[in-house]
Chains A and B, each alone.
Chain A
Amino acid sequence: MSFEAFKPNAPETPAGEPLGMNDEDFRLFRDFIRAQCGIYFGDSSKFILEKRIGRLLQRHRLRRYRDYYYYLLYDRRRGEELAEVVDAITTNETYFFREDRQLKAFSDEILPELHARKLARGDRSLHLWSAGCSTGEEPYTLAALILESRLFAGWRVEIFASDINRRVLQAARKGIYGASSFRVAPREAVERHFIEKDGKWRISDEIKRYVSFSHLNLLDRTKIGLLATMDVICCRNVIIYFDAEAKKEVIHGFHEKLAPGGYLMLGHSESLINISAAFKLRHFKNDLIYQKPGKPTP
């Protein structure tokens, strides 16, 4: 999950269009959104919030942000509307085979390690979680790497891919991508795992079979409890949008969900400093990756 580049809203309020978002409205929405899904909008992001919430006001023919805030609090259909807000404020720009070094560590070092460890226990299953999967590029990349490793043929491989935004999940399930999604993807991987038609590429069923999509709020421990215990959690460029408290809670949830010895892959600009000391930082040849301490249960 990532945010679109910031574009300030033109300060015009012709009749029928929303009036501007004042500081008090901004504070109300910021805190409401943080409480609902942990995403935090700093003061410098006020205009982003104003622009995106403004579209929803127009849809309801409301002019005052405060009225929409009350709608979210009191309307009978507030649950559905909250999902609309989440869809509006989270946009998601990503691409296949993003962060090459980390993926190299995943395929050349983590996967063989997991394979050996699991084989020794007679466990032929592999569970991964792509948390904040956006339009599906990340989980499908992981699936392609697992397939190409040839280590897990005949194993039960499940990649759970979750996002809080329903629209991106819809795109992810569809699995059809344009050229921008392949900006760093190796050509041979694209040819192997995609079918080209009319300038678009559709993910192969072979890859699709590995990936299941879920609509999850990373702060919703109840729903997260439904997921299986994971060997790898990949949550890249997501927690940067959370405030400190929410970050701690999400990371704590990942710690609970990971098997002992399981791996946590964060984005390159993200770290667990001041968030959690429950993980150790493994120095792989290709990258640094967090790992949950403890011996895997036999």
Chain B
Amino acid sequence: MIRSEEMRARLRDPDEERRRQAVESIAGLREDGALDLLVQALGDESWRVRKTAVDAILCLGDVALVVDALVGALNADENAGLRNSAVEALIRVGEPAVPALLKKSADPSADVRKFIIDVLGGIGDASALGALVEALGDPDENVRSAAAENLGLIGGEDAVRALRANLDRDDLLLQYTSLQALARIGRGIPLDSLIPLLGRPLLRKVVYECLAYVPALRAVDLLLEGMRDRSRANRAAAAMALVKIAGAGPELARIVAERLRGMRDQVDVAELVEDLRTPSLNRRIGFVQILGFLGGPAAVLVLLSAAEDEGMRGHAMDALVGMGGEAAAVLLERYGELEGESRAIACAVLGDLGASQAAGALAGSVDDPSPEVRAAAAGALGKIAAIGNAARLLPLLDDPVEEVQDAAVTALARAAAADPSVILEALASPDAEAGATFRANLARVLGECRAAAGADALLLLAKDEDKRVRRSALEALGRIDFGRFTEAFTVALTDECPEVRRVTAEMWGANHPPRALDNLGRMLRDEDLWVRCAAIRGLGESGDSAALPVLRASADAVDGIELITGIEAIARLAGAAALPDLRARLGHEDPEVVKVALDLIARLEPAAGEEVAAEVIALLDHHDPEVRFAAVRFAAERPGMHALPAMRRRRDEERDPAVREALLCALERLER
């Protein structure tokens, strides 16, 4: 029998952490009386204690008893914390709680009925639909409203039908909540049902929200009218709905844009600028899209400014690009006045618009003091394929800021794709005094444009004094054609820099041409650990079964990360035939090796055989808690392993909280 009084006293301890620990202790006792104590803890003043109590209750086995106790707790009208925790716990119990909740749905207390409706909605089980529909006729208006709201959460045809029926009732709160719920479900409602409701100012906002799901021209017109509504909230709702309709397809987007542009003079851009200050990012994005549809010089500048907010940048830039030539003209006209971030954004937009008339302005910005501008100008020049400006871009390969270098690499590669001869000529004969960063980036350009004509320059760069240059050159040669340059890749396996050898070994593995097996086998004896690991992985990826004996011999001679990489490679190459190799590692002294082996076995053999089962059951008593945790997880997913007795015994002995929790949950699942 549980030491109830002692536990009750511990639950009254003034120290929050002691009470929380008491809750954990009660959960571990699994005796009669534990449930009552845990329900009591659900009403604790500390949210930490309440959260632990919810978790603990959910680990108790008897769902029926748990649900009864939690439903009972909903009556505790003097303790909001207890009720809320009970609601949370019931929602987490899920579908098994539904029958008990349905029995209580006619509780005399309107508060309890409302809580039950909320829980049913939170669970979202379709079997609760009938009760929710019935609750639409509840004598209490809050219960009716909650029923409508939760029908919106569950959704489905029946819910829509019931909610639509409410629109004809003379019950403003219910109409409002039903419209909200219908908007949430996002199903189109016949315009005939919605139009009459526009006559009721209090419902207009939610009607506009519903119109968002009616992809019809009439709906567009109603919403355009809504954008001139006297209420600002209604105007904003109409604008958001228009954005949603425009997202339904390109034709609707074109119509919305065209009609909004037609009423540009009637829309107050200044108000939209203010709307952009709303804390809701989604709404800000919507207003940005409206501005994009409206167009005009004022909108261009507002959007340029909006793009400085990182959360909206992509949308504002899309809106500017969507405005086309009009945006390009305004941005170019104002380009000289822009600086820093806004100039960088203007560059990017001009590039996305392919505004070749901006080439001069962009080329003039590649030496802007702001790295953001330099990067954006380089990116834009690449996009408009301004080949004549390649020479202006070249110095950026040596820019002190990596992002600028990256942009220049991409831009030059794009330009080279448009006209390789002009660019390659400039790239293939770099200044002999160029720095290592420049040379490394040059190699990247040649690799990115995959131009075979750049191979000679790359072969020379692969012999460079700087390891970053050699690495970049080799990667670029690999992108052009690994098989054509195997001699260079073989020599690179003897490079003095381990990083170069590692990358090269990875490429041998990824391309596995003839000799890959021999070369990677040799790299297993490299002095650098990570080169050896790359070679092991490469052999695993070769798909050549001749690599298996090499990998097995290697795995027998190594430990740590090499062994882990080795057994992963063997599993990859041999599939189910790797099972003996993996089982042999279940007894390895390194817990990491054991865990990886167990994980690989789980993937290779979904239903554990008798011998594997016995070996995994033995791991339940492993000295390392991580291994025990992995073994519990393995057993929990395989009811056929007959691991229940061992798991029950382990549950009684286990001291590690994470393993113990995993055991409790696994046992609950398996026993059920």
Give A contacts to B, CB under 8 Å.
Answer: 79, 82-83, 158, 160, 162, 166, 169-170, 173-175, 195, 202, 205, 208-209, 211-216, 222-223, 225-228
Contact = CB atoms under 8 A, between A and B. Distances in A.
A142 to B, nearest CB: 15
Interface stretch (B285-293, B335-343, B488-496): B488-496
A124 to B, nearest CB: 14
Contacts of A216: 494
B382 to A, nearest CB: 28
A226 B493 contact: yes
A83 B496 CA distance: 10
B669 interface: no
B522 A174 contact: no
A198 to B, nearest CB: 11
Nearest to B500: A215
A258 B518 CA distance: 19
Contacts of B654: none
Interface in B229-252: none
A163 to B, nearest CB: 9
Given A160-B491, A222-B522, A223-B522, A173 B465 contact: yes
Contact of B491 (A175, A205, A214, A225): A214
Contacts of B528: 79
A251 to B, nearest CB: 20
A170 B465 contact: yes
Q: Which of B456, B459, B465, B496 has the most CB of A within 10 A?
A: B496
B333 interface: no
A215 B522 contact: no
Given A209-B459, A222-B522, A162 B527 contact: no
26 contacts: A79-B527, A169-B496, A170-B465, A173-B463, A173-B465, A195-B432, A208-B463, A209-B460, A209-B463, A211-B463, A212-B488, A212-B491, A214-B494, A214-B495, A222-B522, A222-B525, A223-B494, A223-B522, A223-B525, A223-B526, A225-B518, A226-B491, A226-B494, A227-B490, A227-B491, A227-B494
B460 A208 contact: yes
A170 B459 CA distance: 17
A195 B432 CA distance: 10
Interface string B44-86: 0000000000000000000000000000000000000000000
Contact of B490 (A169, A173, A208, A226): A226
Given A211-B463, A212-B491, A202 B432 contact: yes
Nearest to B488: A212
Interface in B478-496: 487-488, 490-491, 493-496
A150 B373 CA distance: 52
Contacts of B496: 166, 169-170, 213, 215
Interface string B327-338: 000000000000
Interface string B417-438: 0000000000000001000000
B519 interface: yes
Contacts of A82: 527
Contacts of A222: 522, 525
Contacts of A195: 432
Contacts of A213: 463, 496
Interface of B: 432, 456, 459-460, 463-465, 487-488, 490-491, 493-496, 518-519, 522, 525-528
A215 B463 contact: no
Contacts of B525: 222-223
B495 A205 contact: no
A195 B431 CA distance: 13
B465 A174 contact: yes
B487 A158 contact: yes
Given A209-B459, A226-B522, A215 B464 contact: no
Contacts of B491: 160, 212, 214, 226-227
B490 to A, nearest CB: 5
A208 B465 CA distance: 11
Given A222-B525, A225-B522, A226-B519, A215 B494 contact: yes
Contact of A205 (B460, B490, B527): B460
Given A212-B491, A222-B525, A223-B525, 20 more contacts: A158-B487, A162-B494, A169-B496, A170-B465, A174-B465, A175-B465, A205-B460, A209-B460, A212-B463, A213-B463, A214-B494, A214-B495, A215-B496, A222-B522, A223-B494, A223-B522, A225-B518, A225-B522, A226-B494, A227-B491
Contacts of A160: 491
Nearest to B493: A226
A83 B497 CA distance: 11
Nearest to B487: A158
Contacts of A209: 456, 459-460, 463
Nearest to A162: B494
B459 to A, nearest CB: 7
B487 A228 contact: yes
A209 B512 CA distance: 26
B534 to A, nearest CB: 15
B650 to A, nearest CB: 36
Contacts of B488: 212
The 9 A-B residue pairs with the shortest CB-CB distance in the complex, in nearest-first order = A215-B496, A214-B494, A173-B465, A174-B465, A212-B491, A166-B496, A79-B527, A222-B525, A222-B522
B501 to A, nearest CB: 9
Contacts of B519: 226
Contacts of A170: 465, 496
Nearest to A225: B522
Contacts of A175: 465
Nearest to A174: B465
A102 to B, nearest CB: 26
A257 to B, nearest CB: 13
A162 B490 CA distance: 13
Contacts of A205: 460
A227 B488 CA distance: 11
Q: Which of A158, A162, A166, A226 has the most CB of B within 10 A?
A: A226
A223 B493 CA distance: 8
Contacts of B522: 222-223, 225-226
A209 B455 CA distance: 12
Nearest to B429: A205
Nearest to B490: A226
A208 B460 CA distance: 7
Contacts of A79: 527-528
A211 B526 CA distance: 23
A201 to B, nearest CB: 13
A212 B432 CA distance: 19
Nearest to B491: A212
A205 B458 CA distance: 12
Q: Which of B459, B518, B522 has the most CB of A within 10 A?
A: B522
Contacts of B527: 79, 82-83
Contacts of B465: 170, 173-175
A228 B519 CA distance: 12
B366 to A, nearest CB: 28
B278 to A, nearest CB: 56
